[in-house]
Amino acid sequence: MDIELTPEDEAFRTEVREFLAQSLPDYIKDGATGSPTVFVEPDIGQDWNKILNEKGWLAYQWPKEVGGTGWTPVQRYIFEKECALAGAPNLTVLGLKLVAPVIINFGTGEQRAKYLPRILSGEDYWCQGFSEPNSGSDLASLQTRAVKDGDKYILNGSKIWTTHAHWANKMFVLARTDTTVKKQAGISFLLVDMDQPGISVRPILTMAGDHEVNQVFMEDVVVPADDLVGDEGQGWTIAKFLLENERGGSCHAPKIGYDLDQVETMSSDVADGRGGNLSDDLDWRRRLAKLRLGVQSLEMIELKILSRIAKGEKPGPQTSLTKLLASNLRQDVDLLAVDLFGTAGLQLPTARPLYGDNAPAPFKCEKAQVASARYLNSRAWTIFGGTDEVQNTIIAKTVLGL
């Protein structure tokens, strides 16, 4: 695998850097730094989306014929890495990177024409209705029912851990449309309007005190038959496609590496309690080096997956490996940040957001204020998108052939 950039890619990287230097506002960077959650709040995320959309760079992972940039996999990687290094927030992944590729690959022409422009404009803000209270990691055991009634489906059931459902006006849902076949074969993929009777959203506060996830209840919710994506019973195939994109559609190493760089830089100003700086402590340096090697290994695997995509191949089960490594590295880096700040890293204010004019005053600094909340929030990394145990099973079966 050749990882050297071509002159054209070098020029593209320069273009991206110049754009970020000129167009990424400080308040958006501050909001990203002060957000302990995986998804930044819409006041930050949607503003950044708008800036990128005006530039024509928001749909950088979409094909050109449906409004994408037409960038190569290498260019997409360069863009993500430079955004991470510039301190930009994560993009609104649920619409842009999850449901949009599903609509592009499995949807009708009418669905593409209706929904894709509204994702780019921000008119539609999506959440994901997959997990259920009694299903655990066995997604195929879901019980939400969608019963066909003429030109519509009637939807009943409940979804849980639904990120940003309290902000969303749309939800993509896996529902059971046939109970007479094996569980994977009876599932369908539906696009649901959240702004209608029968839908209620109950907040779930995380250990850090953040309102990021919810439980969604659906009682006789109406879904037009035109909002079925693919065929009835094709939902499991579509879900596997979506989850493969979720686990391998982005590069996690640049962002984790950026956060590790921040921790390493700040450690030069922290006393080690023995008359020196923490950055000179051998145990500390050993922890940094171990994590640095982990980030570099993750980056090499992500680049290998990009190389496969560039050749027209599917990402493959290696995406489970990147999900596994990224989740654990994320947690380890966040723990390192808590350790860096000592007692200051234990502060856990209940007020939100931790950025902007109304943010509570931090003890020591803003990064110390968010450290504990970010550490607690990142406990979910080894659960969402498929638990570590699920990823290990996939890797054992499909990568190692066990």
The Cα-based distances of 40 to 33, 178, 305 in angstroms read: 10, 37, 27
CA distance 225 to 243: 24
Q: Which two tokens stand for residue 296?
A: 């570099």
Are 205 and 236 a contacting pair, CB within 8 Å?
no
3-class SS of residue 211: strand
Q: At what angle do helices 253-266 and 73-86 cross, to 10 degrees?
A: 30
- The pairing of beta strand 145-149 with beta strand 152-160: antiparallel
Positions annotated as catalytic residues are 246
Distance linking the first and last C-alpha atoms of the chain: 27
| H-assigned helices in 122-183 | none
The size of the chain, in residues, is 402
Among the listed residues 340, 352, 341, the one whose alpha carbon sits nearest the alpha carbon of residue 377: 352
CA distance 315 to 309: 6
Tokens 């009876």: give the residue.
186
Are 349 and 308 a contacting pair, CB within 8 Å?
no
What amino acid is encoded at 249 in this protein? G
Strand partners, 159: 216
Contacts of 135 (CB under 8 A, 6+ apart): 141, 142, 143
